[in-house]
């Protein structure tokens, strides 16, 4: 039933009309004009839609901006991006030395409007008196992260929503100089957000000065290709390698191909339907290799090709998925978990560190790092090779800042293997490192599955799991966390809890928590060396519970994980009671 006209919020309509008046995009202008007309005519759904679009604003934080495309302050669009660019420009000018002209490099992927948002940003940066350099075409996020350092830029912006749904886009921000091309962290996020808020309140888009930007030379891309090819030049074992690759409708393949040719690897059999950039993502419901069904076409292609393994990038190529044959799986293949891949790549980094400094065991101060919720197996690897270890909050903005980092990863398929050139997760350099590992194993008649077995025999049988509780009322998450703090569990899955780290009280956390700011995380250490971590999701209305065990064998680890999973579900149920 339609609402009456007098129930339309006049303030919301006024805000929408003001937004419409400054929107330079014909598509979102038409979309918003239609909504305003419908709301004025008493359409309750249109009024609710306007309230959702203008009732709040996409929050600029350490992950930049990310949200659905569409008109309104709570959507990704040209108005919001222009305000963000103008605010970020003001921040960079404020931080610049007197007489300095900060350089900003801008990249974009193949999502809808990525190129438009990038060009708007470049023009606004230039109009604000900055030197703005736009990458020459749609490229992977790691190329932008590389370009910030390579060009000596003060900052970088990548227009991407990574592996989000097709209707999303985003705005990821990097800082150069002392930040070495890492993503922003606090307090920079709040300072930039304050500038954006001021711009939004005082300046309409049409009044923002615009200037001429530069187009980056192909030499920037060539430099990234050359640097990444050195991660693992092809050994003799690469000859005849038969493998499958998918770009997941993203931008990874062109750059990867150049690196493979330079490094000496055979080109893969590609998933044809997913190899070209396509922001509609027509063959997947969700363009994330972790999602069920996302790699089905890869599995089918690999079966037809009798491939040895599969590598997959997400749409902006900052993540890597790996799959191997598995006769026990209905598809005949299984994707390795992010922890399995991360531990293999961490092992590779540690062995290389020892080889480079055999008398010390490893270079002094060199370290491996991972997020707090990633496998504790990486610490075991670090200790075995006399390396430092750092656990950080989730996100490569933290991992990349670990002192002396040689390698870092997080369980969500993110890996930093080449910190001297890219201080962010990089699915392309990780793919090259993985190819190197596999090729070296082939020289000894081993497969990737054999490497996993060898890792377990050396360091232990680590297994990880996750329990997620999705809620309609986000306040329930806070109540569960409060309940766990007020009445901590004595056991989980029948195993006694020996210690609980509450990372809201960082001063009480042990040193292996890393140098982290307060965070809403509870970490439970159990008597059998298992670990349970409880934290709210940073991007979804979910409470996440991460489970880690170490067994004496694969079957023992699987049994421990099953008990811990059941115990974690009981723990969440009790906390809601």
Active-site position among 73, 162, 298, 429: 162
Instruction: Tell whether the model's pLDDT for residue 227 goes beyond 70.
Output: yes
Based on the domain organization, do 320 and 404 belong to the same domain? no
Return d(Cα 29, Cα 35) in angstroms, integer.
10
Q: Are residues 451 and 480 in the same domain?
A: no
**pLDDT grade for 416, boundaries at 50, 70 and 90:** very high
pLDDT tens column, 203-220: 999 999 999 999 999 999
Q: Which residues constitute the domain of residue 300?
A: 223-330
* Separation of CA 159 from chain center: 13
Looking at residue 5, its pLDDT comes to 42
Helix axes 78-95, 114-127, angle to 10 degrees: 40
CATH number at residue 93: 3.40.120.10
**Residues 133-149: tens digit of each pLDDT:** 999 999 999 999 999 99
Question: What pLDDT shows up at residue 511?
Answer: 44
Q: Which of 428, 443, 458 is the last residue of a domain?
A: 458
Q: Are residues 69 and 206 in the same domain?
A: yes
313 and 384 part of one domain: no
pLDDT at 363: 64
Same domain, 422 and 489: no
Nearest to 242 by CA among 345, 325, 344, 338: 325
Instruction: Among 166, 192, 216, give the residue marking a domain's end.
Output: 216
- pLDDT tens digits for range 10-41: 888 999 999 999 999 999 999 999 999 999 99
* Spatial distance between the Cα atoms of 415 and 318, rounded to a whole number of angstroms: 8
Residue 490: pLDDT over 70: yes
Tokens 């890492």 identify what position?
182
Q: Is 162 a catalytic residue?
A: yes
Say which CATH number the domain at 567 has.
Answer: 3.30.310.50
- Closest C-alpha to 525, from 559, 488, 577: 488
What percent of the chain lies above the pLDDT cut of 90? 88
Q: What is the pLDDT of residues 284-320, one digit of tens each?
A: 988 999 999 999 999 999 999 999 999 999 999 999 9
State phi, psi for 489 to the nearest 5 degrees: -70, 145
User: DSSP 3-state helix, strand, coil percentages of the chain (rounded to 5)?
Assistant: 45, 20, 35
pLDDT in tens, 376-413: 999 999 999 999 999 998 899 999 999 999 999 999 99
Question: What integer pLDDT is reported at residue 453 of this predicted model?
Answer: 96
Q: Are 417 and 449 contained in the same domain?
A: yes
Cα-to-chain-centroid distance, residue 276: 21
- What is the helix (H) or strand (E) element at residue 108, kind and residue range? strand 103-108
> Can you tell me the distance from the alpha carbon of 472 to that of 128, in angstroms, rounded to the nearest whole number?
43
- Measured between alpha carbons, how far is 401 from 403 in angstroms, rounded to an integer? 6
**Average pLDDT over every residue of 477-501:** 94
Tell me: do 96 and 183 sit in the same domain: yes
User: Are 265 and 314 in a shared domain?
Assistant: yes
Within 10 Å of residue 444's Cβ, how many Cβ atoms? 8
What pLDDT is recorded for position 506? 58
Separation between Cα atoms, residue 274 and residue 532, nearest integer Å: 37
Count of residues in the chain: 577
Mean pLDDT of the chain: 93
Both 481 and 438 in one domain: the answer is no
Which position has the higher pLDDT, 8 or 267?
267
Tens digit of pLDDT for each residue in 431-466? 999 999 999 999 999 999 999 999 999 999 999 999
DSSP state of 76: B
Whole-prediction pTM: 0.93
Residues 6+ apart with CB under 8 A from 224: 142, 143, 146, 147, 150, 255, 421
513, pLDDT greater than 80: no
- Could you give the CA distance from residue 461 to residue 469 in angstroms, rounded to a whole number? 27
- At 72-99, the pLDDT tens digits run 999 999 999 999 999 999 999 999 999 9
90 and 27 in a single domain? The answer is no
Pair (96, 206) in one structural domain = yes
Residue 305 CB contacts under 8 Å (≥ 6 apart), including other chains: 242, 244, 269
- Strand ranges across the sheet with 309-313: 269-270, 243-246, 309-313, 320-325, 333-335
Pick the last residue of a domain from 458, 477, 506. 458
**Do 465 and 558 belong together in one domain?**
yes
The CA-atom distances, in angstroms, between 141 and each of 17, 116, 250, 252, 310 are 35, 16, 11, 9, 21
For the chain, the domain total comes to 5
Confidence label for 7 from pLDDT (cuts 50, 70 and 90): low
Whether 410 and 339 have beta carbons less than 8 Å apart is answered as no
């Amino acid at each position: 039933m339609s609402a009456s006209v007098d129930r339309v919020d006049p303030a919301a309509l006024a805000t929408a009309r003001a937004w419409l008046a400054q929107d330079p995009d014909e598509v979102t202008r038409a979309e918003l004009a239609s909504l305003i007309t419908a709301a004025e005519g008493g359409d309750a759904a249109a009024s609710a839609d306007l309230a959702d679009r203008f009732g709040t604003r996409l929050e600029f934080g350490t992950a930049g901006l990310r949200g659905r495309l569409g008109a309104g302050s709570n959507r990704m669009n040209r108005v919001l991006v222009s305000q963000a660019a103008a605010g970020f420009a003001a921040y960079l000018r404020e931080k610049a030395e007197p007489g300095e002209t900060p350089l900003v490099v801008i990249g974009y992927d193949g999502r809808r409007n990525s190129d438009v948002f990038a060009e708007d940003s470049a023009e606004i940066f230039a109009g604000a008196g900055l030197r703005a350099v736009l990458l020459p075409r749609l490229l992977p996020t790691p190329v932008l992260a590389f370009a910030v350092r390579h060009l000596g830029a003060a900052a970088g912006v990548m227009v991407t929503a990574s592996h989000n749904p097709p209707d999303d886009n985003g705005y990821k921000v990097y800082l150069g100089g002392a930040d070495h091309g890492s993503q922003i962290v606090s307090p920079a996020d709040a300072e930039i957000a304050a500038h954006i808020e001021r711009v939004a309140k005082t300046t309409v888009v049409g009044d923002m000065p615009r200037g001429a930007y530069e187009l980056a030379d192909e030499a920037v891309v060539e430099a990234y290709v050359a640097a990444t090819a050195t991660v693992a030049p092809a050994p003799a074992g690469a000859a005849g390698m038969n493998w499958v690759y998918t770009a997941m409708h993203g931008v990874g393949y062109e750059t990867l191909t150049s690196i493979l040719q330079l490094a000496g690897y055979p080109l893969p059999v590609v998933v044809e339907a997913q190899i070209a950039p396509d922001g509609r993502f027509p063959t997947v419901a969700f363009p994330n290799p972790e999602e069920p069904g996302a790699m089905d076409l890869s599995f089918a292609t690999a079966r037809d090709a009798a491939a040895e393994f599969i590598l997959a990038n997400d749409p902006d190529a900052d993540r890597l998925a790996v799959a191997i044959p598995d006769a026990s799986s209905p598809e005949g293949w299984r994707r390795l978990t992010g922890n399995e891949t991360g531990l293999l790549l961490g092992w590779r980094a540690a062995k290389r560190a020892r080889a480079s400094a055999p008398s010390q065991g490893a270079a002094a101060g060199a370290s491996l790092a991972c997020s707090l919720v990633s496998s504790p197996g990486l610490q075991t690897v670090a200790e075995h090779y006399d390396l430092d270890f750092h656990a950080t909050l989730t996100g490569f903005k933290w991992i990349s800042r670990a002192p002396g980092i040689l390698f870092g990863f997080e369980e969500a398929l993110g890996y930093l293997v080449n910190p001297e050139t890219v201080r962010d997760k990089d699915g392309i350099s990780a793919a090259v490192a993985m190819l190197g590992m596999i090729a070296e194993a082939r020289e000894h008649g081993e497969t990737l599955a054999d490497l996993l077995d060898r890792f377990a025999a050396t360091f232990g049988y680590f297994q990880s799991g996750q329990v997620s509780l999705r809620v309609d009322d986000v306040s329930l998450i806070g109540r569960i966390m409060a309940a766990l703090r007020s009445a901590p569990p004595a056991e989980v899955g029948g195993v006694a809890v020996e210690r609980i780290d509450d990372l809201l009280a960082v001063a009480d956390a042990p040193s292996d928590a890393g140098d982290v700011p307060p965070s809403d995380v509870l970490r439970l250490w159990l008597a059998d060396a298992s670990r349970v971590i409880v934290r709210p999701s940073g991007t979804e209305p979910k409470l996440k519970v991460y489970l880690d065990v170490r067994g004496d064998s694969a079957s023992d680890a699987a049994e421990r994980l099953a008990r811990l999973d059941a115990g974690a579900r009981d723990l969440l149920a009790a906390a809601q009671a």
